[in-house]
Structure 1
Amino acid sequence: MSDNASALRSLPWFARSSARTWRCAPAPAEVRDFHRTLPDYSPTPLAELPSLAAELGVGRVFVKDESSRLGLPAFKALGASWAVHRTLAERAASGREPAPVTLVTATDGNHGRAVARMARRLGQYAHVFVPQGVHPGAVAAIVAEQAKVTEVVGSYDEAVRLAAEAAEGPDTVLVQDTGWPGYERIPGWIVEGYSTLCAEIDEQLAAAGAVEGADVVAVPVGVGSLAQAVVTHYRSRMADRAPALLSVEPEGAACVLESLSLGEPVSVTTGETTMAGLNCGTPSSIAWPYLYGGLDAAVAITDADSAGAAADLVALGVSSGPCGAAALAGLRAALTGVGGEERRTALELGPSSVVVLLSTEGAAANPHSVTDH
């Protein structure tokens, strides 16, 4: 719950009214079919939490619980599995020698672990770059997947740069979940992989009797890849009714909020945050057009906000760390304090609204709960 100091501070916030009319092409249908072929695939829970609905003054609140996804404690395996599958299939179709390749990536934790897990399962190698500040527990989890780990003295953006350089060698492929000009196809496959999560939500809401779907979806944001998948899912529909989409970032790494405010993608200098997986200073180049076109609002929160939300979710039976709980913390911050009623109006929230919060990781993902979305 926000304390008095949080309620009185000037909330970093951006909103606009045109996002719900923006449209794009849908994700490929075959992504979900691929995930269904994986031996450990099953839909993650969509937990309804009536106490949060009462607190927030809405009809129903659901939390998508990604604390166990394809054997890992975060949603990242959805994107990594599809991207690695597509990458190796393309290499095979090109007639290259079937010798193992090294999958190279940079990570704040769970993406790198997911890439390493896929490499190990498929008989490939993995080389993972981790930035300064990643908890030793997260590094150990990646090493346990038999990956080579290079620890970088610098930020996430610096780790990405070094990973890209390392992937220029023979029999190496960069499998990065952020894009830039000249490197966009594989990040696009990663985003496509996340579409399975959204398809599950549709089915689960319908099964719960929320047949018209969500009115607001809140998503934690780092470079914006997961948010791109969420925007793609909800803005590729031709129906008149569309939910409001809210992005949530740490105050010290709000590159998407700053970019939306300026109307163009910009980089920000990041500091330290317990939301380490959201500690990204530059939006993905492929995500940016979707974020700019399809997000209704963006908010930035404090570490205390996310820690409180994580503790509350755990108490309600949903395993969630600071990054995963950012969605709840962001919506709470938006609806309270000075300007809260105006922000509620911008999101078109009412007493019968259905809210979906994406909790992207479990509390045990690692000690500092990193996800690099």
Structure 2
Amino acid sequence: MSDNRPSPHPLPWLARPAARTWRCAPAPTEVRAFHAALPGYSPTPLVELPAIAHELGVGRLFVKDESRRLGLPAFKVLGASWAIHRVLAEHAEHPGNAGDEAPGHLTLIAATDGNHGRAVAHTARLLGQRAHIFVPRGVHPRAVAAIAAEQARVTEIAGPYDEAVRHATEAADAPHTVLIQDTGWPGYERIPGWIVEGYATLCAEIDEQLAHAVTSAPDLVAVPVGVGSLAQAVVTHYRSRPSGRAPALLSVEPANAACVLRSLALGEPVSVTTGHTLMAGLNCGTPSGLAWPHLYGGLDAAVAVTDADSIRAADRLAALGVSSGPCGAATLAGTRAALTGTGREERRTALGLDANSVVVLLSTEGTDANPHATAAH
């Protein structure tokens, strides 16, 4: 539904104290083995940044650096590769689902703010598929060119992300096409569900990497949010454990596209009118219907940040050796907003944090995924 109630400024912060007790079913265990068998697979780094931990007043802080994942500069290929694997396996068993053509002659269609479409196109090219990617306004020309370089057909849409999704969905009605979209709605849930499952590998890697660095689970995990599919995977991972201390989960969005924060505040999924943001991959106006129950049940808090906040965070990470685009750096910007400044004690209490807490930030893209100017410019 659309939310037409007046809201001159996005809500900057929302805490939800009951989320840590919410539970759900776990992701399938075979996803990690699938990714581990792919050529070029290796876990992405979990980088400890003591200087930022000191700045934020926590014990230890780690950044999951997704600037290089299976040959691409963002995490999205984890979901796209698993979903396409499942789609092709299904069509191999039931080729009639794709008309008279073999699975290698399908066209994979997606709408994207950049990284998901590039991941779909990249996977399609490796597997001998065709790809047709719909791109909304505001995506950096270099990101669009990177999709085309994967031999995909690219259609640029003058409207926002939600309109690109509509165009992609209509195009997928043609014969021998499959929509590989990372947002779900009633009647379209299986494939976005597989995409979410693919992101479980990222969380499993964090578990293993933290086990070597600290003796406890994280106290806070911050995740950037567009439609909420990655956040759904993170919630699934940490809220599917029957026992043990659950971490606080913080979602971070652009102030000009805070659809999840707005929806959480209203208690129902709503659409917001999006504006321009350098956080192009998060510039989404409607939460995924598939993700919504997990977001509403399992997110402890949500915060919205400005482009300037995100760029400053990207610059800070770059100075410490972590390549992060505006979307990836949003988690540092959001965590900084939550843990510092006026009202910080209340927010820290809501998140259950103290001077000994362990914080994990998900940096979901490198600078190659979403080129940006530095704060100095």
In the alignment, what sits opposite 2:31? 31
Q: 2:365 aligned to 340, 351, 361, which one?
A: 361
Distance in structure 2 (CA, Å) of the matches to 1:10 and 1:335? 19
Query: Which amino acid in structure 2 is aligned with residue 140 of structure 1?
Result: A
2:294 is the alignment partner of 1:290: yes
In the alignment, what sits opposite 1:243? 247
In the alignment, what sits opposite 1:111? 116
Distance in structure 2 (CA, Å) of the matches to 1:247 and 1:336? 17
What are the equivalent positions in structure 2 for 1:65-80 lying under 5 Å apart?
65-80=65-80
Displacement of 1:339: 1.3
Displacement of 1:211: 2.1
Distance in structure 2 (CA, Å) of the matches to 1:11 and 1:290? 20
Contact kept? 1:49, 1:60, Cα under 8 Å: yes
Displacement of 1:238: 1.0
Aligned length: 360
2:172 is the alignment partner of 1:157: no
Displacement of 1:213: 1.1
Displacement of 1:11: 6.5
In the alignment, what sits opposite 1:81? 81
In the alignment, what sits opposite 1:4? none
Distance in structure 1 (CA, Å) of the matches to 2:182 and 2:358? 30
Residue aligned with 2:227, SS? coil
Query: Which amino acid in structure 2 is aligned with residue 41 of structure 1?
Result: Y
In structure 1, the gaps of 5 or more residues are: 1-8
Distance in structure 1 (CA, Å) of the matches to 2:207 and 2:250? 18
In the alignment, what sits opposite 1:225? 229
Query: Which amino acid in structure 2 is aligned with residue 363 of structure 1?
Result: T
Query: Which amino acid in structure 2 is aligned with residue 77 of structure 1?
Result: V
**Distance change (3 Å), C-alpha of 1:368 and 1:171:** farther
Distance in structure 2 (CA, Å) of the matches to 1:10 and 1:324? 21
Displacement of 1:338: 2.1
Displacement of 1:294: 0.2
Distance in structure 2 (CA, Å) of the matches to 1:166 and 1:73? 27
In the alignment, what sits opposite 1:212? 216
Distance in structure 2 (CA, Å) of the matches to 1:20 and 1:321? 29
In the alignment, what sits opposite 2:6? none
**Distance change (3 Å), C-alpha of 1:231 and 1:86:** same
Question: Any idea what the Cα deviations from partners look like across 1:35-73, whole Å, max 9, x if unmatched?
Answer: 011011100000000001101111000000000000000
Question: Any idea what the Cα deviations from partners look like across 1:194-229, whole Å, max 9, x if unmatched?
Answer: 000000000000011x12110000000000000000
Query: Which amino acid in structure 2 is aligned with residue 131 of structure 1?
Result: P
TM-score (norm. length: structure 2): 0.94
Contact kept? 1:216, 1:347, Cα under 8 Å: yes
Distance in structure 1 (CA, Å) of the matches to 2:355 and 2:93? 54
2:22 is the alignment partner of 1:22: yes
Q: 1:133 aligned to 134, 138, 142, which one?
A: 138
Deviating beyond 6 angstroms after TM superposition, the runs of 4 or more aligned structure 1 residues are none
Distance in structure 2 (CA, Å) of the matches to 1:340 and 1:352? 16
Distance in structure 2 (CA, Å) of the matches to 1:37 and 1:240? 31
Displacement of 1:336: 2.0
What are the equivalent positions in structure 2 for 1:54-73 lying under 5 Å apart?
54-73=54-73
Residue aligned with 2:328, SS? coil
Question: Any idea what the Cα deviations from partners look like across 1:119-176, whole Å, max 9, x if unmatched?
Answer: 1111110000000121111111001000000000100000000000000010000000
Displacement of 1:256: 0.3
**Distance change (3 Å), C-alpha of 1:11 and 1:308:** farther
TM-score (norm. length: structure 1): 0.95
In the alignment, what sits opposite 1:40? 40
Contact kept? 2:10, 2:262, Cα under 8 Å: no
In the alignment, what sits opposite 2:258? 254
Q: 1:343 aligned to 344, 347, 351, which one?
A: 347
Query: Which amino acid in structure 1 is aligned with residue 72 of structure 2?
Result: L
Question: Any idea what the Cα deviations from partners look like across 1:291-331, whole Å, max 9, x if unmatched?
Answer: 00000000001111000000000100100011000000001
What are the equivalent positions in structure 2 for 1:255-270 lying under 5 Å apart?
255-270=259-274
In structure 2, the gaps of 5 or more residues are: 1-8
Displacement of 1:366: 3.1
Distance in structure 1 (CA, Å) of the matches to 2:372 and 2:240? 35
Query: Which amino acid in structure 2 is aligned with residue 176 of structure 1?
Result: Q
Query: Which amino acid in structure 1 is aligned with residue 45 of structure 2?
Result: P
Distance in structure 2 (CA, Å) of the matches to 1:220 and 1:24? 21
Aligned-residue Cα RMSD (Å) equals: 1.3
Residue aligned with 1:324, SS? helix
Question: Any idea what the Cα deviations from partners look like across 1:2-61, whole Å, max 9, x if unmatched?
Answer: xxxxxxx99711111111110000000000010011011100000000001101111000
**Distance change (3 Å), C-alpha of 1:48 and 1:129:** same
Distance in structure 2 (CA, Å) of the matches to 1:242 and 1:25? 15
Contact kept? 1:276, 1:368, Cα under 8 Å: no
In the alignment, what sits opposite 2:4? none
Residue aligned with 2:195, SS? helix
Contact kept? 1:275, 1:368, Cα under 8 Å: no
Query: Which amino acid in structure 2 is aligned with residue 322 of structure 1?
Result: P
Q: Sequence identity, in percent?
A: 76
Residue aligned with 1:141, SS? helix
Residue aligned with 2:105, SS? coil
Displacement of 1:368: 4.7
